[in-house]
Chain A
């Protein structure tokens, strides 16, 4: 096995540990933010595992899990957990309904795309993120050497395209940017905003560092995914592992009480309960 085949399995193990930790906190405190974080992390873990599996062999349901949970939905569900910590109650409910409805809609579109997958283009020699989409070539643009191409009619025009697993114009791909923009805005934006609030008040340095780690971790995977789409896929697996470790470290640090918080809590008279 190569290092690029081992890294996703390590990321999956980190995400599994992280997910169990967050769900334990949800069952202890019943805070919905932990529930959405846990669901988003479980999706991240499933996406990582599917990616690891697809670096070794083909399975269409692994591809389903990779695209739907790993590429489309996980960032939005993670970010929604952060929204629960920061937004007003009436907004949270409206956005939760939209997120659940949007996720079900994307799942339905993905199920519709499954019979149309072009499985013949799959190879274990490239990351799945470099071969899932069919890309139409612009006039004068040439296909990369060794790429499989197809000439087809798309939006009323005859185009040559580099073949990918999902056919040209697959509807589910149109939903992905919505989820990712929302996830990036709420998860990274929320962490930066929280860090700024604590920093401005000059309190809780652990929460400042924790939110910086969460934001940096989320940006690591966002940047690695973007680089992959621009043709630099070799950084994706490392980006995922860095992301998993940084977000987990940030979450643990944020959840840990400060020394003087513990002192203060221990000093509260029992009757104060």
Chain B
């Protein structure tokens, strides 16, 4: 009878997948940059550099 272990309870990413090897890291980095941009914008509003 199989016993649950950390190793077999997790599914793994497909090997050589363009989606997971290329698109996901690019998406994460891009979203990180946009997030920082939006936070800087909000901080600019707070500090009075950005008027709206």
Contact = CB atoms under 8 A, between A and B. Distances in A.
Answer whether A and B are interacting partners: yes
Interface of A: 133, 135-136, 138, 174, 177-178, 180-181, 184-185, 188-189, 192, 195-196, 199, 202-206, 208-209, 212, 215-216, 219, 222-223, 226, 229-230, 258-261, 264-265, 267-269, 272
B10 A203 contact: yes
A135 B31 contact: no
Interface string B15-40: 00000100011011001101100110
Nearest to A259: B11
B27 A216 contact: yes
A258 B43 CA distance: 40
Contact of B46 (A178, A189, A269): A178
A219 B38 contact: yes
A219 B35 contact: yes
Q: Binding site of A, secondary structure by majority: helix, strand, loop or mixed?
A: helix
A223 B34 contact: yes
Interface of B: 1-4, 8-14, 20, 24-25, 27-28, 31-32, 34-35, 38-39, 41-43, 45-46, 51-52
B36 to A, nearest CB: 9
A166 to B, nearest CB: 13
> Which of A133, A178, A230, A264 has the most B CB atoms < 10 Å from its CB?
A264
B39 A184 contact: yes
B20 A205 contact: yes
Contacts of A212: 24, 27-28, 31
B14 A136 contact: no
15 contacts: A135-B51, A174-B46, A184-B35, A184-B39, A189-B35, A195-B28, A199-B25, A202-B12, A205-B11, A208-B13, A208-B24, A215-B28, A226-B38, A260-B8, A272-B4
A7 to B, nearest CB: 22
B28 to A, nearest CB: 5
Contacts of A203: 10-13
Contacts of A223: 34, 38
A186 to B, nearest CB: 11
